[in-house]
């Protein structure tokens, strides 16, 4: 998404996609649905938020990166309001679990393999387009001149973004800053070649989440902290550091 939109702030959390997935999943939980329907609800919510953001961001027949990010922030705020409403309507016995899940909770993941399979398939689907993403990073006009079918590439990235965000949110909850910080850190190490960056960012994101989850279980054991709190505590200073490196 950062390459496609040519904006370093783009990630599922900022664009409201994670919030849409959370709304879909919590709505299914509130309705007492089975786990399969919770997964489906998260994907439907993520895809709906994606379509809503990119639909509302159009102006005069096109959208700009600034308009898109502003629309994403507003949609994320709306999703946050919907989540707050569902929490206020939820039975008392479910509220604590829903809150903990919203801040990230990997302790209840008993079957990670379906999510890993979807992640692997997502990487397999997007890696053949890594060269086109490299060209797109030089600008849409340049990419079109070199034969990139930008419309098809956008549809692929938006669809995969919604699918993978829905799977991630359903698996461990709504964890912020991983999708925003990790690509920047990986770029500092290996550059911006998407053929290397996409798989490397996937592995680095998993490492960060695993480290944060391990710390969440051990720092104040036997109390377990929400993993999303630790990723935020790590992500905020890192992002501020990156801003000081690139003040423009």
Q: What percent of the chain has pLDDT over 70?
A: 94
User: Residue 42 pLDDT more than 90?
Assistant: no
Beta-carbon contacts of 136 under 8 Å, excluding residues fewer than 6 positions away, are: 3, 4, 6, 143, 148, 150, 153
Closest CA to 229 of 121, 99, 120, 76: 99
Q: What is the pLDDT, as a whole number, of residue 59?
A: 58
Ranked by mean pLDDT, the top range of 51-55, 107-111, 130-134, 140-144 is 130-134
Q: pLDDT tens for residues 136-168?
A: 888 888 888 888 888 888 888 888 887 888 888
Q: What percent of the chain has pLDDT over 90?
A: 16
Can you give the pTM of this predicted structure?
Answer: 0.78
Give the burial class of 80: count Cβ atoms within 10 A of its Cβ; 0-12 exposed, 13-18 middle, 19 or more buried: middle
Q: What is the pLDDT, as a whole number, of residue 200?
A: 95
Which CATH architecture group holds 2-175?
Orthogonal Bundle (1.10)
Chain mean pLDDT for the chain? 83
Task: Assign 248 a pLDDT band (cuts: 50, 70, 90).
Answer: low
Q: pLDDT tens for residues 162-218?
A: 788 888 887 887 787 888 889 988 998 998 899 999 999 999 999 999 999 899 888
Helices (H) and strands (E) in the chain, counts: 12, 0
């Amino acid at each position: 998404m950062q390459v496609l939109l040519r904006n370093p702030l783009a990630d599922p959390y900022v664009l409201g996609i994670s919030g849409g997935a959370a709304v879909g999943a919590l709505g299914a939980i509130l309705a007492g649905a089975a786990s399969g329907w919770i997964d489906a609800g998260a994907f439907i919510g993520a895809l709906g938020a994606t379509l809503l953001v990119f639909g509302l961001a159009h102006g005069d027949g096109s959208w700009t990166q600034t308009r898109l990010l502003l629309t994403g922030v507003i949609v994320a705020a709306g999703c946050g309001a919907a989540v707050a409403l569902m929490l206020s309507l939820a039975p008392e016995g479910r509220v604590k679990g829903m809150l903990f899940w919203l801040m990230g909770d990997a302790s209840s993941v008993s079957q990670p393999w379906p999510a890993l399979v979807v992640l692997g398939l997502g990487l397999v689907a997007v890696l053949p387009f890594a060269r086109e993403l490299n060209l797109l990073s030089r600008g849409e006009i340049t990419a079109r001149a070199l034969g990139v079918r930008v419309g098809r590439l956008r549809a692929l990235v938006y669809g995969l973004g919604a699918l993978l965000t829905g799977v991630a949110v359903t698996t461990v909850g709504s964890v912020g800053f991983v999708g925003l910080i990790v690509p920047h850190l990986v770029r500092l190490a290996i550059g911006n070649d998407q053929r290397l960056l996409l798989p490397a960012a996937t592995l680095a994101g998993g490492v960060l989440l695993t480290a944060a989850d391990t710390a969440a279980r051990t720092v104040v054991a036997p109390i377990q902290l929400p993993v999303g709190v630790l990723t935020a505590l790590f992500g905020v200073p890192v992002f501020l550091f990156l801003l000081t490196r690139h003040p423009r």
